[in-house]
Amino acid sequence: METFSEKSNEIFWKATQDYHRYDNVDAPLRNPYPEPSIENDLYRKNWIDAVQWHLEDIVRDPAIDPVKALAIKRRIDKSNQDRTDLVERIDSYFLELYKSVKPLPDAVINTESPAWAIDRLSILALKIYHMQQETERPDAAPDHIARCRAKLDVLLEQRTDLSAAIDCLLDDIAAGRRYMKVYRQMKMYNDPALNPVLYNQK
């Protein structure tokens, strides 16, 4: 039976490869999974991460026009909010999935929710993809290739370890050994009622 991490890694890798067929931050999202579904959310999550990855590359161009840089920075801010909202939506899926589980008397809480661990798995898919690209660059020096291959090995090991930890966490929650709570993100800078720069303009 496929574990949740296996499903996530498969979808994240598909989304990463699909994005790079266009390699364009303005490419339309064509999610192959039905909505609503956890598969749809996982694919969308990685697509958001892929677009933001490349926006972060673009905005670091030393020759970028300042006006363009500001527009991209604001786009990254919105992307961060979309990413956070989607992580919370994935956590809502787990809350619903395990709502009937009664935690054992000695159950403990994890340091992060399942979806925030899965968020890191999505980013790892992008790191692995891009590091693999670096190992295949025909214009790169041999020492660069060697360093990138060593880093790729570490990233692959990290994905294996994180996947196992996520599946263990979900098994523990299902068995009542751990329980989950979700503290909704309260990003003050995006809220006109909480950011003094915004509410002092009124």
Q: Hey, what are 36's tokens? A: 């609503």
Residue 23 has pLDDT above 70, yes or no: yes
Q: pLDDT tens digits for 30-55?
A: 999 999 999 999 999 999 999 999 99
**CA distances, 199 to each of 75, 76, 111, 188, 193 (Å):** 21, 22, 34, 11, 6
Q: Hey, what are 106's tokens? A: 């000695």
* Full-model pTM: 0.92
Q: Which residue has the tokens 């993809």?
A: 129
Tell me if residue 195 falls in helix, strand or coil. Answer: coil
Tell me if residue 44 falls in helix, strand or coil. Answer: helix
Q: How far apart (Å, rounded) are the C-alpha atoms in residues 170 and 118?
A: 11
Q: Which residue has the tokens 């161009």?
A: 61
Residue 186 has pLDDT above 90, yes or no: no
